[in-house]
Every structure is written in structure tokens, then in C-alpha cells.
């Protein structure tokens, strides 16, 4: 990966050297023009196949155009769920990440804490899992309407008689126990678990020890609920097991549920076989990767298109979808343009706001988001329109309503959990405060995580809690700052490696479009921090070699500890020109 000896080594200018020794300059992120997004979405909606257009009309006349855009790279896969061109859900997964939430383990009770009413369980990981006594008792889910009882006599007696006081006797230290992780390791805390096992499928959720069957209350149509209840009564469900029909099952035929139940039962049989063979605490089952979870959890009838920029992963998604819904297979497409997929659909700009402290609102106001150890604070400001509030008595209400909408969206995108405090602009009118409260409550009902929202106080403060399953998105992308020993954060070497590779790919693609001879060699030199270079030369060396081979490009690197860890430059090795 060295440029030819015939090419004179290019050095950075004094100004470029100085820039690399400081954090990259943050450019102001302007909100994406809603009108531009709307125009782009309308154009894409017009290009749908005629059958999809007819189905959308039948389903709901004013249904928004929904897309799932997937950026699949070697180290990182990113999924964006879009509604009318606006980013509604963002998830990412990196190679080697532990998919702990939903994983099932064979464990052993290591310690009992009567004061905490909890057990600590050895599940074969460095940290023992936390198991509250309440999570051992059979639980009823208020979000599900129970339709059918399949409990055994033993299960009925257990539910009626067992109490928290009985737990230490039933599960003494050293006892083996089957647990499922409900909350991943966060900071110094071990994972939280439950004995109420649940296996999610495409249309059903199987609860091997549940003993009760029901329909999700999120399905609102009485006629549809009645039809699904009848299907649930006809399904051949083993005694003692429970099944819940998910919202994705709305409108589906009988055969879809039979097929999904068969897949889940086979999955459970495999888990039981591993459990019988395991001698020590170990993992028996892990949730599928982000691609399969996307198909399972997000690809519903309301989704108009799924677009992915990797042919192999696109074929894999197509195979997965074809197993459960051949009609949905026509929605899968591979993105083949040269422009990066997230740039093409204005997703990258929207994601940038996910990591900003200040998020601008289209009215001119802004919300400021601060994550702390104990809680997350969201402050609403009038921003540039502060002087205009006297001209419009309803301006404060409008800003607060817009802030509620954006705050709910940012909470979902950033995966913020725990206690959240929102400081709205003061409103004297109780009617206005109730309007903002109802708006926030309505928006948070779209969230799959459980939320509890309290009304706005006279001080303009709203308190809410959101279920936390895993760390927020930002905590997965940043590591402790080596400059300030924990007082701030900088991007990790892994993140910088991803960014350098992505920038290299983008730069090479653009250069290729301007070259007359597609076979002509390209020589690039990358200047970066030693931490990033160490990652590139060891763990990610194979990917760099693939980039060189795929694009007929020669890469060389120069590292200097004086460079800032978050900064890098890509230089044309022949001309010395900086490439962005």
C-alpha cells in the first residue's frame, strides 16, 4: 500500500497540519427542507408498481409513504425507517456486537439478596445477571387481551400459590434456572433478566411457559380482533404454552400463523435440546442480526419499499421475506447508484442531528438535549423567533407543539431511556399545557418501548420515563476521551475506521466518474491519528485490501500522535490536493 517511487511524496501544508491537531470544525446542520422531502417522496411513490398502488389505496387512502433504507457495510449495518421521507427509526449494528437483549441462557443462582428482593445469576458472562423476584413470578401483560387458556394444572396452581416470599426456597443458591435478558449491560451494571421466556416471530410471539393466548390491544379494529381471536382458538398450541398475535398479523390469513407457529416451535425445540446438553451456564439462543430483525419487526403491510445497497444482503432479505410473505418480496430492491444510499435519500443529514446537542426546529426554535448519569434533560427555546412572540399569541404554543413532536422523534432515534425531563416554554393557559401533553402522549404511543408521560406542571416541566433495553445510540459510537480522562468523549478508533473507509469509498467513486480511463490507477494517502491507523492495519486490513482490489486504487497511510483522534485527511498522492 505504498505509492510508486516515481511519485514525489506530498506533504501537508502548515494550515492542514494545524487543522489535524484540533477537533474537526462542526458545521451548522440545517433542517432538511420538508417541501423537498415531500417532493422526493411523491416522485418515488409514483414509481411504485401498479399493484402496490392499488393495495395502498385499498389499505388506506391517506397512508404515508413508508420506506426502509439499509446501508450494509463490512463493519457496520445501518437501518433507517422513513415515513414521508422523514427519519422515524434508526438502528445500527457492528460486526462482533453482542446481541444480548432477547438472548436465552442456562444459568445458576450465584447469590440471593433479600434486601433487593433479587437474585444474581451466573450465565457464563463476566458479570452476573440481575433477576428480580417479581421477574420470576408468572406475569400478565396488560397490552394483550387474553382469548384462550392453555395452562396445565401445575401452572394454575403455581400462579395461584407462589409469592415473592417463596422464591428463595424454590431457587436456592446453586439452583439451575432458565433466563432471558430483557435489558443489556449498561455501564457497570450486569444484564437484567426474567424467567418469563418469549420468542418473537413475524406474526406471533411464543411464550413456552405462558399458558395463555391473546391478541395485541394495538390492533384497534373490532372486526379484525374478532377474526384473529377465532384464528387463535383454532391454532394447535401445545398445552402449557402461550401465544400472542402481533400487530404485524393484522389482515393476515390463517396459513401465515400456522407457518409462523411451526417455525417458533422448532426454534424452541432446538433451545431445549441445547439446554439438555449444556452442563455449565451458557447461551442457548441469541436474537438474529439486524437484517433479520428488520424483516421481522418493521416490514409490515404499511411499508411500501425496502432498499438495500448490498446485493448479497439483499438476496438474503429476499429469501427471508419469501418464507413468510411472498407478496412482500416484491417490495425488496437493491440500490445500485454510485451515490451513497444514505446521502441519496437525505438520511445522513438527519442522522447528524441525532448527535447534536442543539436540534433546530423548522419554526426557528430549537431543543437542547443533555444526557447525564441520572436523567436526560430536554430544553425548549424560541431561538431566532424570540422577538416575534408578541406578534402572535399562539406562537409559544406552536413552538411547544413542534418541540413535543421533535423531542419524541429524537428520543426514539437516540434510544434514550430512563428518566426524561422536558422544560417547555412557560404557558399560562391550562388548555395550552393540555394540548402539548396530549401531543407528546400521542407521539410516544408510536414507540415500541414502554413509556409513562406525566402532565406539564405549572413551571412548564414535563416528566416521563422510557423503558431502557440497551445503551443509547451515542454510547455505542463514542469512547472515553483520552484528552480529558472522562470529562468528554471522542469517536472511537473503530468509528474512525468506519468513517475513513466510508470517506475513501465515496472519494474513489467520485474520482472514477471524472476519469476517462476507468482502469487508470488512483493513488491516495491518508493522514490520521495512530489509534485509527492501528485499527486499520490490524482488524480492518482485509477490508482495505478489498477496497484496493475492487476500485484499482493504491493506499498509503501516515500517522502522527499530534493529530486529533477525530480528524483525518485524504490527499491525492500525485497532486497533493485534499479530497473530501
Q: Is pLDDT at 404 greater than 90 in this prediction?
A: yes
Q: Is pLDDT at 534 greater than 50 in this prediction?
A: yes
- pLDDT tens digits along 420-436: 999 998 888 889 999 99
Residue 468 binned pLDDT confidence (cut-offs 50, 70, 90): confident
- At 59 the pLDDT is 56
Mean pLDDT computed over 437-455: 89
Q: Which of 543, 469, 461 is nearest to 501 (CA)?
A: 543
- At 162 the pLDDT is 75
Q: Is pLDDT at 487 greater than 60 in this prediction?
A: no
Mean pLDDT computed over 257-275: 92
49-63, 449-463, 526-540: range with lowest mean pLDDT: 49-63
In percent, the amount of the chain with pLDDT more than 70 equals: 87
Q: Which of 270, 277, 282 is nearest to 106 (CA)?
A: 282
Q: Is pLDDT at 38 greater than 80 in this prediction?
A: no
Q: Which residues of 192-223 are buried (b: 16+ CB within 10 A; e: fewer)?
A: bbbbbbbbbbbbbbbbbbbbbbbbbeebeeee
Measured in degrees and rounded to the nearest 5, phi and psi for residue 500 equal -65, -45
Mean pLDDT computed over 462-478: 77
- At 389 the pLDDT is 47
In this prediction the pTM is 0.73
Q: Are the beta carbons of 546 and 517 closer than 8 angstroms?
A: no
Residue 482: burial class (beta carbons within 10 Å; 0-12, 13-18, 19+): exposed
DSSP assignment string, 93-144: EETT----TT-EEEEEEEEEETTTTEEEEE-SSSSPEEEEGGGTS----TTE
Cα diameter, the chain: 84
Our CA angle for 12, 16, 17, nearest 5°, is: 75
DSSP assignment string, 298-319: T--TT--EEEES-HHHHHHHHH
Our CA angle for 172, 177, 183, nearest 5°, is: 110
- pLDDT tens digits along 160-203: 567 788 888 888 999 999 999 988 887 677 889 999 999 998 88
- At 262 the pLDDT is 92
- pLDDT tens digits along 353-378: 777 888 888 878 889 998 877 789 99
Mean pLDDT computed over 524-532: 93
Q: Which of 462, 403, 458 is nearest to 427 (CA)?
A: 458
Residue 530: burial class (beta carbons within 10 Å; 0-12, 13-18, 19+): middle
Q: Is pLDDT at 147 greater than 90 in this prediction?
A: no
- State which H helix or E strand residue 284 sits in: strand 282-285
If DSSP codes are grouped into helix, strand and coil, which group holds residue 19? helix
Q: Which domains does the chain have, with CATH numbers?
A: 14-96+292-348 (3.30.420), 103-286 (2.40.50.140), 356-477 (no CATH), 493-579 (3.40.1260.20)
- At 34 the pLDDT is 67
127-136, 293-302, 511-520: range with lowest mean pLDDT: 511-520
- At 3 the pLDDT is 47
Residue 580: burial class (beta carbons within 10 Å; 0-12, 13-18, 19+): exposed
Mean pLDDT computed over 226-252: 88
Mean pLDDT computed over 383-406: 73
50-64, 136-150, 298-312, 500-514: range with lowest mean pLDDT: 50-64
Q: Is pLDDT at 250 greater than 80 in this prediction?
A: yes
- pLDDT tens digits along 82-100: 888 888 888 888 887 778 8
- State which H helix or E strand residue 161 sits in: helix 153-161
Q: Are the beta carbons of 242 and 235 closer than 8 angstroms?
A: no
Mean pLDDT computed over 297-319: 86
Mean pLDDT computed over 234-239: 89
- Sorted by sequence, the CB contacts under 8 Å of residue 236 that are 6+ apart come out as 261
- Sorted by sequence, the CB contacts under 8 Å of residue 407 that are 6+ apart come out as 367, 378, 380, 422, 440
Residue 393 binned pLDDT confidence (cut-offs 50, 70, 90): low
Residue 227 binned pLDDT confidence (cut-offs 50, 70, 90): very high
Q: Is 271 left (phi over 0), alpha (psi -120 to 50) or beta?
A: alpha
Measured in degrees and rounded to the nearest 5, phi and psi for residue 366 equal -155, 160
Q: Are strands 104-113 and 86-94 parallel, antiparallel or unpaired?
A: unpaired
Q: Which of 1, 60, 12, 69 is nearest to 306 (CA)?
A: 69
- At 115 the pLDDT is 87
Amino acid at each position: 500500500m505504498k505509492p510508486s517511487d516515481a511519485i514525489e511524496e506530498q506533504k501537508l501544508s502548515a494550515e492542514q497540519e494545524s487543522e489535524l491537531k484540533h477537533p474537526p470544525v462542526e458545521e451548522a446542520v440545517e433542517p432538511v427542507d420538508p417541501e423537498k422531502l415531500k417532493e422526493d417522496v411523491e416522485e418515488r411513490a409514483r414509481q411504485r408498481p401498479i399493484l402496490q398502488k392499488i393495495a395502498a389505496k385499498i389499505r388506506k387512502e391517506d397512508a404515508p409513504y413508508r420506506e426502509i433504507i439499509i446501508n450494509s457495510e463490512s463493519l457496520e449495518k445501518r437501518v433507517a425507517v422513513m415515513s414521508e421521507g422523514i427519519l422515524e427509526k434508526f438502528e445500527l449494528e457492528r460486526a462482533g456486537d453482542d446481541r444480548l437483549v432477547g438472548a436465552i441462557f442456562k444459568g445458576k443462582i450465584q447469590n440471593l439478596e433479600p434486601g433487593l428482593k433479587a437474585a444474581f445469576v451466573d450465565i457464563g458472562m463476566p458479570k452476573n445477571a440481575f433477576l428480580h423476584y417479581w421477574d420470576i413470578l408468572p406475569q400478565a401483560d396488560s397490552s394483550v387481551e387474553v382469548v384462550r387458556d392453555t395452562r396445565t394444572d401445575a401452572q394454575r396452581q403455581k400462579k395461584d400459590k407462589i409469592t415473592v416470599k417463596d422464591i428463595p426456597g424454590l431457587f436456592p443458591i446453586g439452583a439451575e434456572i432458565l433466563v432471558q435478558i430483557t435489558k443489556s449491560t449498561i455501564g457497570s451494571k450486569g444484564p437484567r433478566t426474567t424467567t418469563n421466556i418469549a420468542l418473537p416471530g413475524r406474526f406471533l410471539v411464543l411464550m413456552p411457559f405462558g399458558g395463555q393466548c391473546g391478541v395485541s390491544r394495538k390492533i384497534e379494529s373490532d372486526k379484525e380482533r374478532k377474526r384473529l381471536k377465532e384464528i387463535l382458538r383454532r391454532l394447535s398450541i401445545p398445552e402449557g404454552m402461550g401465544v400472542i398475535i402481533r400487530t404485524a398479523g393484522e389482515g393476515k390469513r390463517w396459513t401465515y400463523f400456522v407457518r409462523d407457529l411451526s417455525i417458533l416451535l422448532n426454534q424452541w425445540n432446538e433451545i431445549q435440546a441445547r439446554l439438555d446438553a449444556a452442563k455449565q451456564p451458557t447461551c442457548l439462543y441469541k436474537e438474529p442480526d439486524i437484517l433479520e430483525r428488520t424483516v421481522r419487526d418493521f416490514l409490515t403491510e404499511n411499508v411500501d419499499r425496502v432498499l438495500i445497497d448490498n446485493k448479497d444482503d439483499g438476496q438474503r432479505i429476499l429469501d427471508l421475506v419469501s418464507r413468510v410473505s411472498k407478496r412482500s418480496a416484491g417490495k425488496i430492491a437493491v440500490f445500485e447508484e454510485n451515490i451513497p444510499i444514505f446521502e441519496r435519500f437525505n438520511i445522513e443529514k438527519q442522522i447528524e442531528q441525532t448527535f447534536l446537542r442543539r436540534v433546530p426546529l423548522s419554526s426557528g426554535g430549537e431543543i437542547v438535549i443533555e444526557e447525564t448519569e441520572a436523567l436526560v434533560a430536554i430544553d425548549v427555546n424560541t431561538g431566532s423567533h424570540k422577538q416575534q412572540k408578541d406578534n402572535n399569541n399562539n406562537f409559544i404554543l406552536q413552538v411547544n407543539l413542534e418541540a413535543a413532536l421533535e423531542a419524541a422523534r429524537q428520543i426514539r432515534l437516540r434510544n434514550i431511556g430512563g428518566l426524561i425531563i422536558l422544560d417547555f416554554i412557560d404557558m399560562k393557559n391550562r388548555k395550552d399545557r393540555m394540548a402539548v401533553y396530549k401531543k407528546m402522549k400521542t407521539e410516544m404511543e408510536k414507540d415500541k418501548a414502554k413509556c409513562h408521560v406525566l402532565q406539564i406542571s405549572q413551571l412548564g416541566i414535563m416528566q416521563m420515563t422510557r423503558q431502557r433495553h440497551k445503551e443509547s445510540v451515542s454510547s455505542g459510537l463514542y469512547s472515553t476521551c483520552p484528552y480529558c480522562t472522562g470529562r468528554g468523549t471522542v469517536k472511537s478508533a473503530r468509528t474512525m475506521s468506519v468513517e475513513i473507509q466510508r470517506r475513501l469509498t465515496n472519494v474513489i467513486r467520485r474520482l472514477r466518474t471524472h476519469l476517462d480511463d476507468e482502469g487508470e490507477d488512483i493513488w491516495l494517502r491518508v493522514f490520521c491519528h495512530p489509534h485509527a491507523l492501528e485499527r486499520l492495519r490490524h482488524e480492518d486490513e482485509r477490508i482495505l485490501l478489498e477496497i484496493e482490489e475492487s476500485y484499482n486504487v493504491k493506499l498509503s497511510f501516515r500517522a502522527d500522535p499530534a493529530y486529533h483522534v477525530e480528524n483525518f485527511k485524504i490527499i491525492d498522492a500525485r497532486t497533493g490536493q485534499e479530497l473530501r
